[in-house]
Amino acid sequence: MIAFVLRRILQAAAVMLVVAFIAFSLFQYVGDPVLAMVGQDATPEERAELRSKLGLDQPFHAQFARFVGNAVQGEFGLSYRQGRKVSTLLEERLPATLELSLAAAVLALTAGIPLGVYTALKRDGWLANLFLAVSLIGVSLPTFLIGILLILLFAVVLGWLPSYGRGDTVALGWWSTGLLTVDGWKHLLLPAFTLCLFQLTLIMRLVRSEMLEVLRTDYIRFARARGLPDRTIHFGHALRNTLVPVITIAGLQLGSIIAFSIITETVFQWPGMGLLFIQAVQSADIPIMAAYLCLIALVFVVINLAVDLLYFAVDPRLRIDRASSSH
Amino acid sequence: MSALARLRDSDLWFSFRTSPVAIAAALVTAILVFGAVFAPWVAPHQPFELASLDLNDSLLPPAWSAEGRIAYPLGTDDQGRDVLSTILYGSRISLAVGVASVLLALVLGVSLGLLSGYVGGRLDAFIMRVADVQLSFPAILIALLIDGAARAMLPRDAHSDTLSLMVLVGSIGLANWVQYARTVRGSTMVEKNREYVQAARVIGVSPLRIMATHVLPNALGPVLVIGTINVATAIITEATLSFLGVGVPPTSPSLGTMINTGNNFLYSGEWWLVVFPGLALVLLCMSVNLLGDWLRDALNPKLR
Amino acid sequence: KTFRVADQGDALSMDPHSLNESVQLSFTGNVYEPLVGRDKKLGLTPALATSWSQVNPTTWRFELRRNVSFHDNTPFTADDVVFTLQRAASEGSDMRSYTNTIKEVKRIDDHTVDVITQTPFPILPDVLSSVYVMSRKWCTENSAERPVDKRKGIENAASFRANGTGPFRLKSRDPGVRTVLVRNFGYWGKIEGNFEEVVYTPIGNDATRVAALASGEVDMMQPVPVQDVARLKRNPAIEVLQGPELRTIFLGMDQSRDELLYSSVKGKNPFKDKRVRQAFYQAIDMEAIRTRIMRGAATPTGLMVAPGIRGYVAELDKRLPYDPEASKKLLAEAGYPNGFEVKLNCPNDRYVNDGEICQAVAGMLARVGVKINLEAESKATYFPKILSRNTSFYMLGWTPGTYDSHNPLNALMATPGASGRGQFNLGNYSNPKLDELTDRIASETDQKKRGAMIAEAFRIHQDDIGHIPLHQQALAWGMQKNVRVVQMSDNYHHYKWGGM
Amino acid sequence: MSIDRNNPTSTSTPGNESGQLSTPVPDNATSGTPAPAHGGRPLLEVIDLRVEFPNRRGTLTALDGISFTIAPGEVLGVVGESGAGKSLTGAAIIGLLEPPGRIAAGEIRLQGLRIDNLPPGEMRKVRGREIGAIFQDPLTSLNPLYTVGRQLIETIQAHLNLGRSSARERAIELLRSTGIPAPDERIDHYPHQFSGGMRQRVVIALALAAEPKLLIADEPTTALDVSIQAQIIALLRDLCHRHGTAVMLVTHDMGVIAETADRVAVMYAGRIAELGPVTEVIHRPQHPYTVGLMGSIPTLGETRERLAQIDGSMPRLDAIPSGCAFNPRCPEAMPICRSERPPLMAAGSSQAACWLHASASADTGARR
Amino acid sequence: MNESTAMNESAAMRACAAMSKNGSARAAATDNLPLVRAEGLTKSFDVSAPWLNRVLEGRSRQLIHAVDDVSFDIRKRETLALVGESGCGKSTVARMLVGLYRPTRGRVLYRGKELAEMQAAPHGAPAPARVQMIFQDPYASLNPRWTIAEIVAEALRMRRLLRTRRERLERVAELLQLVGLSPADATKYPHQFSGGQRQRISIARALASEPEFLVCDEPTSALDVSVQAQVLNLMRDLQARHGLTYLFISHNLAVVHHVSDRVGVMYLGRIVEISTREHLFGRPRHPYTRLLLDAIPDLEMSGRARTPVAGEVPNPLTPPSGCAFHPRCPYADERCLTERPQLEADPYGSVACHAVAEKRVEWA
Ligand SMILES: Nc1ncnc2c1ncn2[C@@H]1O[C@H](COP(=O)(O)OP(=O)(O)OP(=O)(O)O)[C@@H](O)[C@H]1O
Ligand SMILES: Nc1ncnc2c1ncn2[C@@H]1O[C@H](COP(=O)(O)OP(=O)(O)OP(=O)(O)O)[C@@H](O)[C@H]1O
Ligand SMILES: [Mg+2]
Ligand SMILES: [Mg+2]
Ligand code: NI
């Protein structure tokens, strides 16, 4: 167990290093940060001077080594554009993104799993087919369009919900949360729904197909043959086995929710990291981009680790060590 | 039995014939694909021909409204392009991007997956680690990355439209190979231990040949399903990239670019700019998705 | 009254010297003040200096306002002025192009300061209207003696806190999310408006921003996307304030290379031929662009500066007529009866409908036989490219930061040379006569003579068709009916003049 | 009855009751309802069962006119080629046909009560409580995510009104009775921690948890090692014997049948070819198919150059020849075999569905 | 399958049967040089946990000794059977014999030449074409997407025996007839055949490369007894006609009794007893062999006294010390616990058992 976690952590470190390298090296080539940093009237000499001061004229590997060294300490330097610590900037934006993503993930899971189970159990029911059909729209419409249509409907036409931002937030230490105010919840609703729609559809379809598969297994048949009640069979036996593969996908999905929040945050002006990132891309703010990528990778790695540990909880076959089972 | 007769006799054809949803989806897909492929002959105007555009015809509503003109059945956009023609040409580009990027991902993923699954060992470990790293980034992010890098690094004198299309295809394709690789690797690992593969080895068939003739065809089923569904995803990814500002050039708009442009006119009353391309996109993606769903179910013996 | 305002972008920093960019200067201009301010018509007006005069050709004397204190209640003195000008000239400052003519700043007494320039510098007061005064004491205490130094990774309190003399104090700042200003009740002057609090929110997405205004979540937002103006105007609760902006949008052409980088013409440069430039000019139907793409929210221009810039000459502001036939003829005369192919570089997220304008231009040129390969891209990649002059045909917009014609002459039209001259003359247009005039304009103190020289320079440029001016885009501010604000053509927002 | 009671309620053993087993052949041989063994009413009656799978080319009749009975405590062996319909018969009895399979005709009666048309809720109470079932693969029959104990306890609680702790005690008892060492420890283990043989024991324990009167064992040993097979069969026989449970034992292996069953049903292409006491069927097969089958089994006793073989293969269910399903392969086929389907008729002390016995139904042992 | 092929098939079978009758009765081989010889074959699989786990948990490498020091000879025209329970290493031996696995130790000699040396192509043919293999699962051993002609012709193509397509198709037809199928079946797909027919196709494929040694890994254990009889008969006919040599793997002793000349019994990777069929079945000596014989359910219901051996097959990862069978052996003593018995030859064959060597065991 410890060895397993350790190995995963080592692997994660390797992954992180590669990601750092990619992030850093790729963004070497996007845009010219110097341009974003000075106004239009600066002279070429001033630009060149700034360039050398930023170390942008140093050899690549030296820049990268410096980058990694700092990144390990959570230090990504100052934003080229804002002149503030990237770590602080991300820290400020992190709560917003996490709250949004979490809300979306919870929504996707709490709606997706029951819907998936329902559509699997009522395979030929009209309501189940309706759910399936509607869910297809979820994956056939681009997220940004859904978001904008939702704003149009709920904010402009109906005026029920606010159209942008996080609303009132409450600071809990460095964490600012919108979950403690009514206004915050109102603001959360539309973006979270927009963000979760795609993942909800995926999870629902995944649960459905896994469930259908599991319902065909011998142990379900045997459970029926023992005369267990349907509820026990469906929710005790089938669902639990369905969850094993669902956990992996859902884990990955949670990660992509965070990444997909780029779009949602752009549409809803949600002050999270995604918005920060896309603004950084637009102005070639390398430190922010690099930091964001590393953070996303870290989130993924952590999620993957958590998923693996969750497996241990769900699937007893993994709990004992390999030696005693031959397969 | 001829191949055709065999097809007509097959379960696949039967399950297709008896599924109204599949038929409807296939029909819609066929119409859209036909319109896209034969756009130059079908479309009433040539929206990509700049010289034919007249700014003074811009933003006309669809033909049935008061100011509409019969020459522009679905109205015109802000540059005076006929919306219907642009949708036809645009789905051409969307489909091209979708299909090409899926093909790229497929070729890359399938060959890496085959290699990884068949050779195993260190190579397998390496490829799968790369896949892990890649999986750490969602497709959109990767596409953003590759697109940005490619645009900045590639020489600029190539014709920019085709180049940016290629970059787009490349970035969406590269972002998606992992799925295929994993699937193929999985089936390869199963397949390579199948007895008929071993029989072939005993006979003395070379590994490459075995991979190509024995392993690959049997691994292709799920790949096909993923591929179909990914075409829809790729089209949406392209649209989203356009939304984020790194999509296809506006002079030859794809459905995504059109929607993105149309977005800006959502509040100003020119609804047709977003509704029609949006409808086309949803129809296209939905029917492709439905086809993929159907194919998945039809190919899954367990669900029969 | 709390005034909620949304803008496309955010001020990147609260440090008024860190970036010479209009959003930032506009916003910090509510907290900080320059020596010389601008009135509602952009004319110079006393701000922290009550009067100024030229003691000799290279010395300007400023009499400072008395009984002014910063938001932290330290009194404003000449020391602060000296400090500010030093700070603005220091490393990391982005205002150095405004201060690099200054040789020395002398404190005469507590309320008098002399600024000595290297050469006669007639527009120093105009230039100083962009340099906001900071408190020496506060900066020293917060180790913000210099604008932030990104290289050393040292943060700077001034980039997210502020202590000025202006009509509003900075209450809270959440970069990219919201920034709150509150009224400074100890302000030395009169605050016409009744805003007690200003909540500033950047909303980048056009549709969302419009939605926020339409749903009443903000009191004002800008810019209103031109296509939404009409619809919003019809909304009884909303008003759209439109007016000309100082920025001039124009097209530039590479006129120096012997062969264009991106063109089908090999071995020669068609843009060296004035007939070709004129053909391009006359092929563009600005009226169609104005009505269709800009929906009327633009002023086609024949000049490279807008009304409101010192040196603007109304008589010269005439476009050559739109005439595709003439254009074709000119092309044929120049040896391109079938036109040719050239690439047009264009941003798509910088100016109002920039991408659309370029598309329209491409379409119009196509009609006279010129095939345009349009490359529209994000400003992040666009500007590095064209600034390295890696272009044959490009679009640019320019607002003279000094509100004076010398600035565009020097930056856009003069032959590229040392110390920033012609730095944005990306097509390397060159006319020695114009260069000479530009030099003389810089140090001519007689406004009348200076005006004549500027007009002369513009005429030369116009004759040469050095650039193809397009239009001045219009400002469009959307607001709730009950809001009153003063729209300045430099797109600065002065909340002290607004009310509800 | 509790499982730890050692003296069996039923005293029937193959040995001392073999006389009874071959008792009255019904006077009307075509009625398809053989007389119950053990005198009284049979535990299970299957009457003219037909199972169909509607598919796109029409309807596939997988079981056609299956009739047999099982008496309390009796072991009925069901043999036959793969695809002959052995498993389907079992599945039909406990009502677990996979859709679209359905019972198209016939009746299934348990202690006289029809169970083939019970509503799902009622049927659920029959399953496990009245009829238990064991499937082929012990690895896949157990839910890998739950401990063996949990699966046992929930099964017990589903049928018997027991508290948690007493259910657990009973579960441990069950495990012990199936010969699992240290059951109070093993009860908290997961299926994967057991070996194949032990898993099959657990499956048996589960099937017998609520003391069903009938156990349907569908190839319970096929997935196991040869040496374990013998153990499991012995255990099954022993347990059922002690509890008086009747068993329908489906298998390929004639040897297992020979050792275990009281009577045997030989199935061919969805029909019963022969049904009779085990010694009779093995030593005096009446149906040509059974004859061939017996001849093709290699035995240790004799050394033959070639095994007897039935040429050809069993027809696909969608292409069953008219008349007797076996006629294309039958060395003794007569014209009537091609046109008319033979019902089960008395043949010696067994019954066989073969026209050869139409005339000589009284002439026992007429042919070998 | 339709009726006409059924007819064809049975006709061919009868033809075969006729041939086998006048063909030599199975000859006890007379060659001195064995056709195939296995010398100390050993195969271990590394199933260790990843390196880091081992280091952290202080575990050592874990090897499964799937096959441990197995030696035997097979003479020409002889059938050697290997029996033993699941996982005892039968298939591994088979795979080493055809070159699908490389032995960890030991070697396979084919006509006195080392198999490894005969494999000229670096990656190519793992086995000389004269050694072929038939697999257990008839459903998995044919590529479902190929026609029968393609499947059978693949070997012909690989061996480059026949150049043209026509020649190959003709040969395929011949082969199909040989195994009792109709040439018309060549254009069908595997799913159109029953298990027994598929196994015949596998045999046809194996015969295509004209082998003299056929390794049959449980060729009938997935088949019904009646079909099994068909396949076994076919194999025997082919042996008679073509002088084939078989290694026959099975866990069904009755089948083994039917087909084999000599029998090797494996337990946990080792051969515990090997002798002629008569001796092995007549006088089984190793306790495990007896256990296996006992486990065969008796059709005759002879009421033979059984000694039901308790216990489970041990985990090959942690094989018991000494004699691997000792935990289940009724005759085990101290010595069995510690000392591993060697295979010792005696007049009846070879046995690896202390109890037998010490004559502690009586045998019937
Ligand atoms: N779901 C189904 N759809 C169509 N046909 C089916 C289905 N299930 C079973 N059958 C058919 O019913 C017949 C009997 O199947 P069954 O499983 O009872 O055979 P079996 O005698 O148990 O064979 P085995 O020994 O292989 O288990 C088979 O020929 C099979 O083709
Ligand atoms: N490729 C492999 N990697 C690791 N272990 C293996 C491998 N192949 C076989 N083994 C192990 O080697 C042992 C012997 O396997 P083998 O397949 O030879 O047994 P077998 O006697 O053929 O069994 P069965 O009757 O089930 O076919 C088993 O314990 C198996 O787990
Ligand atoms: Mg079965
Ligand atoms: Mg094996
Ligand atoms: Ni195992």
Same structural domain for residues D359 and D224?
A: no
Q: What is the pLDDT of residue C151?
A: 52
Same domain, D50 and D140: yes
Asked whether the predicted pLDDT for residue D3 surpasses 70, the reply is: no
- Whole-model pTM: value is 0.81
Residues D125 and D205 in one domain: yes
Local confidence band at D8 (pLDDT 50, 70, 90 cut-offs): very low
The B-side interface with E (CB below 8 A) comprises 1, 194-196, 198-207, 214, 217-218
| Alpha helices (H) along C303-367 | 324-333, 354-367
The residues pairing with D114 across neighbouring beta strands, listed in sequence order, are D109
- Going along chain A from its start, the domains and CATH numbers come out as 2-72 (no CATH), 89-282 (1.10.3720.10)
Q: Is residue B51 part of a domain?
A: no
The token pair at E38 is 């296995």
The residue of chain E nearest to residue A11, with distances taken between CA atoms, is E52
Q: What is the dihedral of CA D351, D356, D358, D360, to 10 degrees?
A: -90
Band (pLDDT 50/70/90 cuts) for residue D276 is very high
Q: Subunits that touch chain C (at least 3 Cβ pairs < 8 angstroms)?
A: A, B
pLDDT of amino acid C167: 92
Q: How far is the CA of D270 from the centre of ligand 1 (A)?
A: 9
Residues E272, E253 share a domain? no
Q: Where among E260, E284, E307 does a domain terminate?
A: E260
Mean pLDDT of D331-349: 86
Structural domain harbouring E296: 264-364
The type of residue at D211 is E
Same domain, E45 and E170: yes
Task: Look at residue E233 and tell me if it is in a domain.
Answer: yes
pLDDT, residue E13, reads 42
Structural domain boundaries enclosing D231: 44-268
Q: Is the CB of E66 under 6 A from ligand 2?
A: yes
**How much is the average pLDDT of A262-282?**
84
Contacts of A320 in chain D (CB under 8 A): 192-193
Do both D259 and D201 map to the same domain?
yes
User: According to the model, what pLDDT value does residue E266 have?
Assistant: 92
Q: Which of C382-386, D160-164, E13-17, E344-348 has the lowest mean pLDDT?
A: E13-17
Interface test with C, best of B76, B246, B268, B272 (most C CBs within 10 A): B268
CA distance linking residue B134 with residue B131, whole number of Å: 5
Judgement on whether residues D74 and D212 belong to the same structural domain of the protein: yes
D197 and D331 fall within a common domain = no
> How far apart are the C-alpha atoms of D109 and D93, rounded to whole Å?
9
Residues E157 and E273 in one domain: no
Has residue E106 been placed in a domain? yes
Does residue E7 sit within a domain? no
Q: Is D80 in the pocket of ligand 1 (CB under 6 A)?
A: yes
Contact between D347 and D331 under an 8 Å Cβ cutoff? The reply is no
| Within a domain: D6 | no
Complete edge-to-edge strand list for the sheet that includes strand D44-55: D58-70, D44-55, D102-110, D113-114
Q: How confident is residue D49, by pLDDT bands cut at 50, 70 and 90?
A: very high
The answer to whether residue D33 is domain-embedded is: no
Residue A22: band (very low, low, confident or very high) from pLDDT cuts 50, 70, 90? confident
Say if the Cβ atoms of B129 and A14 lie within 8 Å: yes
- Residue finishing a domain among E196, E227, E260: E260
Q: Which residues, including other chains, have CB under 8 Å from residue C45's CB and lie 6 or more apart?
A: C36, C37, C38, C39
Domain count, chain B: 1
D314 domain residue, yes or no? no
- E253 with E361, same domain: the answer is no
Q: Is the CB of D87 under 6 A from ligand 1?
A: yes
* CB atoms inside a 10 Å sphere around CB D148: 28
**pLDDT (0 to 100) of residue E362:** 67
- Per-residue pLDDT at A169: 77
Judge whether E145 is closer than 8 Å to chain B, CB to CB.
yes
pLDDT tens, position by position, E283-314:
888 888 888 887 777 666 544 445 566 677 77
Which of E260, E292, E309 is where one domain is finished? E260
Instruction: Specify the number of domains making up chain E.
Output: 2
Residue D193 lies in a domain: yes
Through-space distance between the first and last CA atoms of chain C, rounded to whole angstroms: 7
Do D151 and D290 share a domain, yes or no? Answer: no
Q: Give me the domain span that covers residue B175.
A: 13-46+75-303
| Domain contains E291 | yes
Q: How does strand D345-347 pair with strand D263-268?
A: unpaired
Which structure tokens are listed for D81?
A: 């080629």
Tokens of C190: 């009169």
B156 falls within a domain: yes
Residue B202 lies in a domain: yes
Q: How far is the CA of A320 from the centre of ligand 5 (A)?
A: 16
Q: Read off the pLDDT of each residue in E304-332 and give the average, rounded to a whole number.
A: 75
Is E362 inside any structural domain? Answer: yes
Question: What whole-number distance in Å separates Cα of residue D156 and Cα of residue D174?
Answer: 10
Asked whether residue E230 falls in the same domain as residue E359, the answer is no
Q: Does E281 share its domain with E317?
A: yes
CATH number of the domain that D76 lies in?
Answer: 3.40.50.300
Q: What pLDDT digit, counting tens, does each position of A147-197 carry?
A: 888 888 888 788 888 888 887 777 777 777 777 788 888 888 889 998 888
Whether D169 maps to a domain, the answer reads yes
Q: Does D262 share its domain with D283? A: no
Residue E72 sits in the same domain as residue E213: yes
What average pLDDT does chain D have? Answer: 81
Which two structure tokens, joined as six digits, stand for C376? Answer: 């529209």
Whether E49 and A321 lie within 8 Å, measured CB to CB: yes
Q: Do E122 and E188 share a domain, yes or no?
A: yes
**Atom 26, ligand 1: residue with shortest CA distance:** D82
C-beta separation of D153 from D164 below 8 A: yes
pLDDT at D302: 72
Q: Which region among A282-286, C38-42, D36-40, E173-177 has the lowest average model confidence (pLDDT)?
A: D36-40
Q: How confident is the model at residue E335 (pLDDT cuts 50, 70, 90)?
A: confident
- Ligand 2 atom showing the smallest separation from residue E85 Cα: 25
Which helix (H) or strand (E) segment is E108 a member of?
Answer: strand E105-110
User: What stretches in chain B show pLDDT beneath 50?
Assistant: 1, 158, 303-304
> To which H or E segment does residue E147 belong?
none
Q: Which residues of chain A neighbour D120 with C-beta distances below 8 Å?
A: 230
CATH code, domain carrying E196 = 3.40.50.300
If we measure between CA atoms, which residue out of B262, B47, B246 comes closest to residue C363? Answer: B47
Give distance in angstroms: CA of B137 to centre of ligand 3: 47
For residue D21, report the distance from its CA to the centre of ligand 3, in Å: 27
Do both E249 and E117 map to the same domain? Answer: yes
Give the C-alpha separation, B102 to B174, whole Å.
Answer: 9
Secondary structure string (H, E, C) spanning chain D: CCCCCCCCCCCCCCCCCHHHHCCCCCCCHHHCCCCCCCCCCCCEEEEEEEEEEEECCEEEEEEEEEEEEECCCCEEEEEECCCCCHHHHHHHHCCCCCCCCEEEEEEEEECCEECCCCCHHHHHHHECCCEEEECCCCCCCCCCCCCHHHHHHHHHHHHCCCCHHHHHHHHHHHHHHCCCCCHHHHCCCCHHHCCHHHHHHHHHHHHCCCCCCEEEEECCCCCCCHHHHHHHHHHHHHHHHHHCCEEEEECCCHHHHHHHCCEEEEEECCEEEEEEEHHHHHHCCCCHHHHHHHHCCCCCCCCCCCCCCCCCCCCCHHHCCCCCCCHHHCCCCCHHHHHCCCCCEEECCEEECCCHHHHCCCCCCCCC
The answer to whether residues D252 and D348 belong to one domain is: no
DSSP E353: -
Dist. CA A175–CA A172, nearest whole Å: 5
D214 and D282: one domain?
no
Does residue E199 sit in the same domain as residue E254? yes
For residues D360 and D218, state if they share a domain.
Answer: no
Q: Are E254 and E269 in a shared domain?
A: no
> DSSP labels for B4-34?
HHHHHHSHHHHHHHT-HHHHHHHHHHHHHHH
**Number of compact structural domains in chain D:** 2
Task: Give the domain CATH number at B252.
Answer: 1.10.3720.10
Residue A132 in tokens: 């399936």
* Predicted pLDDT of residue A296: 82
ipTM for the complex?
0.79
Within a domain: D27? no
End residue of a domain, out of D246, D268, D290:
D268
pLDDT at E312: 72
The two three-digit tokens of residue B255, written as one number? 């459905």
Sign of the C-alpha dihedral computed for residues A223, A225, A226 and A232 taken in this order: positive
Same domain, D147 and D81: yes
**Does residue B55 sit within a domain?**
no
Dihedrals φ, ψ of A69, to 5°? Answer: -55, -45
Residue B280: inside a domain: yes
Lowest average pLDDT, out of A121-135, D208-222, E23-37, E251-265, goes to: E23-37
- Is E56 within the bounds of a domain? yes
Q: Is residue E229 in a domain?
A: yes
3-state secondary structure of E329: coil
pLDDT by residue, tens only, chain C of 500 residues: 889 999 888 887 888 888 777 888 889 999 999 999 988 888 889 999 999 998 888 899 999 998 898 998 899 999 999 999 988 888 777 777 778 788 889 899 888 999 998 888 888 888 888 899 999 999 888 888 888 765 555 667 888 888 889 899 999 888 778 899 999 888 888 888 888 999 999 888 888 888 889 888 899 998 888 888 888 888 888 989 888 888 899 999 999 999 988 888 888 999 999 999 999 999 999 998 988 888 888 899 999 999 888 889 888 999 999 999 999 999 999 999 988 999 999 887 788 888 889 988 988 998 898 988 888 877 767 877 787 788 899 999 988 888 889 889 988 899 987 666 887 888 899 999 999 999 888 888 888 899 999 999 999 999 999 999 999 988 889 999 988 888 888 888 888 888 88
Contact B206 E140 (CB under 8 A): no
User: Is E244 in the same domain as E320?
Assistant: no
CB contact C383 to A (< 8 Å): yes
pLDDT digits (tens, 9 = 90+) for C414-456: 998 766 688 788 889 999 999 999 988 888 888 889 999 999 9
So what's the pLDDT on residue E123?
44
